[in-house]
């Protein structure tokens, strides 16, 4: 009997060895789905749309025709360049736009936060914003550096709700231009980088994105600063970038919007969160259909079809375009035409001044 057990053990060991496979890391394992379901990519938006979150730093001198070619292929009628900067640089961008495609681009100004704390700094910054608007800017973009790396003349972190910035937000309201603001980053960037962190792959492959509570402050602190600023300036329209970093908690985002009527959102770089909760996202888009704008962020034309498919289709289990953002598959929300039109262009036409309305249907 002992000999039989020994023989079985040896055979079992040999079988296991023959069946063993090389180990594969998480980054490499990405098998194509064998699921066969109806659906296909959507390469062109059903309606002409306005991308309110784009960055074209080379706009002062670039050939805008290359952008127009890609925009036309996907039915993008207007691109909002959030990286207009200020002063002479902004003037050069506007000159390029006016000379070539005057109704296809909108430019937002930016604030130079150098020397915050000097006497009269806020008034000067507000005056520069007013000058930039006279020179063609139709909005203001605030980068996440405010709250992260912007420091005053004493080397102290400038908070998002710092009262020394109030003149800027007040001036934007007076000029009736929106402020698109990016504060913080996804909350998992502050959480332990372990097997429980959904952003592990992104943090592992993108050095520098991991945060600590002292680098420079806890996530909740940064978001609270932003919300206090929103509430302090109810006459100014704020566009919270990236769904305010609550795309994974639409119930919370709904409560934020309910409490702050002057805030709207855009979904740049967070479509993967919406695509994994199509029923809940559909309900959110239905309830807040007047307060959501189309935004993409990074200019990669090949990635826009994911956005169109999540918004328009009822397709199941289709791939996302960046595994490090989302290792899960997407599902379509199947938004009705009336809501799609608001998301694609009507809401932006209402919120951002001087967009050519003749480019869009009623």
pLDDT digits (tens, 9 = 90+) for 178-203: 999 999 999 999 999 999 999 999 99
The whole-number pLDDT of residue 14 equals 41
pLDDT digits (tens, 9 = 90+) for 262-284: 999 999 999 999 999 999 999 99
CA distance 148 to 32: 39
Determine what percent of the chain is predicted with pLDDT higher than 70. Answer: 94
Cα–Cα distances (Å) from 7 to 3, 15, 19, in that order, read 6, 12, 18
pLDDT digits (tens, 9 = 90+) for 109-158: 999 999 999 999 999 999 999 999 999 999 999 999 999 999 999 999 99
Q: Which residues are within 8 A (CB) of 25 and not within 5 positions of it... i.e. 6 or more apart?
A: none
pLDDT digits (tens, 9 = 90+) for 231-265: 999 999 999 999 999 999 999 999 999 999 999 99
Indicate the pTM of the whole model. Answer: 0.93
pLDDT digits (tens, 9 = 90+) for 4-35: 344 444 444 444 444 567 788 777 888 889 99
Cα–Cα distances (Å) from 126 to 130, 227, 241, 277, 345, in that order, read 6, 21, 22, 41, 29
> Are residues 263 and 257 in contact, defined by beta-carbon separation less than 8 angstroms?
yes
pLDDT at 38 over 80: yes
Confidence of residue 211 (pLDDT cuts 50, 70, 90): very high
CA distance 80 to 104: 9
The whole-number pLDDT of residue 11 equals 42
Please list, residue by residue across 16-41, b when 16 or more beta carbons sit within 10 angstroms of its beta carbon and e when fewer do: eeeeeeeeeeeeeeeeeeeeeeeeee
pLDDT digits (tens, 9 = 90+) for 283-333: 999 999 999 999 999 999 999 999 999 999 999 999 999 999 999 999 999
Handedness of CA 32, 74, 352, 289 (dihedral sign): negative
Q: Which residues are within 8 A (CB) of 2 and not within 5 positions of it... i.e. 6 or more apart?
A: none
The whole-number pLDDT of residue 20 equals 67
Tell me the mean pLDDT in the region 227-234. Answer: 98
How open is the CA angle 38-42-43, to the nearest 5 degrees?
150
pLDDT digits (tens, 9 = 90+) for 58-108: 999 999 999 999 999 999 999 999 999 999 999 999 999 999 999 999 999
Tell me the mean pLDDT in the region 335-355. Answer: 98
> Are residues 67 and 39 in contact, defined by beta-carbon separation less than 8 angstroms?
no
């Amino acid at each position: 009997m002992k000999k039989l057990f020994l023989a079985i053990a040896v055979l079992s060991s040999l079988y296991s060895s023959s069946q063993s496979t090389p180990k594969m890391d998480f980054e490499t394992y990405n098998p194509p789905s064998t699921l066969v379901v109806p659906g296909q990519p959507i390469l062109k938006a059903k309606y002409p749309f306005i991308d309110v979150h784009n960055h074209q730093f080379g706009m002062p001198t670039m050939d805008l025709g290359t952008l127009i070619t890609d925009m036309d292929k996907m039915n993008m009628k207007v691109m909002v360049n959030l990286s207009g900067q200020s002063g002479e640089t902004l003037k050069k961008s506007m000159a390029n736009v006016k000379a070539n495609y005057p109704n296809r681009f909108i430019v937002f100004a930016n604030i130079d936060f150098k020397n915050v704390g000097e006497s009269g700094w806020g008034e000067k910054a507000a005056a520069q914003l007013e000058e930039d608007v006279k020179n063609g800017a139709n909005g203001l973009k605030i980068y996440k550096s405010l709250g992260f790396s912007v420091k005053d003349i004493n080397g102290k972190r400038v908070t998002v709700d710092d009262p020394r910035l109030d003149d800027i937000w007040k001036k934007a309201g007076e000029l009736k231009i929106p402020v698109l603001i990016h504060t913080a980053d996804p909350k998992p960037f502050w959480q332990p980088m372990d097997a429980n962190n959904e952003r592990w792959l992104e943090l592992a492959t993108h050095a520098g994105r991991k945060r600590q509570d002292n680098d420079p402050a806890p996530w909740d602190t940064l978001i609270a600063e932003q919300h206090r600023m929103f509430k302090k300036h109810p006459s100014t329209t704020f566009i919270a970038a990236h769904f305010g970093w609550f795309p994974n908690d639409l119930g919370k985002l709904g409560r934020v919007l309910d409490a702050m009527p002057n805030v709207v959102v855009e979904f740049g770089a967070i479509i993967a969160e919406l695509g994994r909760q199509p029923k809940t996202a559909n309900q959110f888009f239905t309830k807040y259909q007047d307060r959501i704008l189309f935004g993409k962020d990074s200019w990669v034309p090949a990635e826009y079809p994911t956005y169109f498919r999540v918004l328009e289709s009822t397709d199941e289990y289709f791939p996302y375009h960046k595994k490090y953002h989302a290792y899960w598959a997407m599902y379509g929300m199947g938004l009705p035409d009336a809501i799609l039109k608001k998301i694609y262009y009507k809401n932006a036409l209402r919120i951002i001044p001087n967009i050519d309305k003749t480019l869009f249907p009623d």
